[in-house]
Amino acid sequence: MNYKKNFIEFMVKSGVLTFGDFITKSGRKTPYFINTGNYKTGEQAAKLGQFYAKCIEENRKTGKITGDITALFGPAYKGIPLAVATSISLATEFQCNVNYCFNRKEAKDHGEGGTMVGYKLQDGDKVLIIEDVITAGTAIRECFPILKSTADVKIEGLIISVDRMERGAGNKTAIQEIEEEFGIKTFPIVTVREIIDTLYNTEVDGKVYINDEMKARMEAYLQEYCVK
- Mean pLDDT score of the chain, rounded to an integer? 91
- SS3 sequence of the chain: CHHHHHHHHHHHHCCCEEEEEEECCCCCEEEEEECHHHCCCHHHHHHHHHHHHHHHHHHHHCCCCCCCCCEEEECCCCHHHHHHHHHHHHHHHHCCCCEEEEEEEEEECCCCCEEEEECCCCCCCEEEEECCEECCCHHHHHHHHHHHHHCCCEEEEEEEEEECCEECCCCCEHHHHHHHHHCCCEEEEEEHHHHHHHHECCEECCEECECHHHHHHHHHHHHHHECC
Q: Check pLDDT > 80 for residue 1.
A: no
CB 133 within 8 A of CB 34: yes
Our count of domains for the chain comes to 1
What letters, b where the CB count within 10 A reaches 16 and e where it falls short, cover 141-162? Answer: bebeebbeebeebebbbbbbbb
pLDDT of residue 78: 87
Distance CA 64, CA 49 (A): 20
pLDDT of residue 52: 97
pLDDT band at 227 (very low <50, low <70, confident <90, very high): confident
pLDDT of residue 108: 56
Give tens-digit pLDDT for 54-81. 999 999 999 999 989 999 999 988 899 9
HSE-CB of 86 using CA atoms within 13 angstroms = 31
Q: Among the listed ranges 6-15, 29-38, 85-94, 100-109, which one has the minimum average pLDDT value? A: 100-109
pLDDT of residue 87: 98
Indicate the pTM of the whole model: 0.90
Q: How long is the chain?
A: 228
Mean pLDDT value of segment 89-104: 95
Distance CA 15, CA 18 (A): 6
Range of the domain at 36: 2-225
Catalytic residue positions, numbered = 108, 110
pLDDT of residue 85: 96
Q: What is the CATH number of the domain that holds 203?
A: 3.40.50.2020
Using alpha carbons only, give the angle 102, 47, 126 rounded to the nearest 5 degrees: 35
pLDDT of residue 107: 61
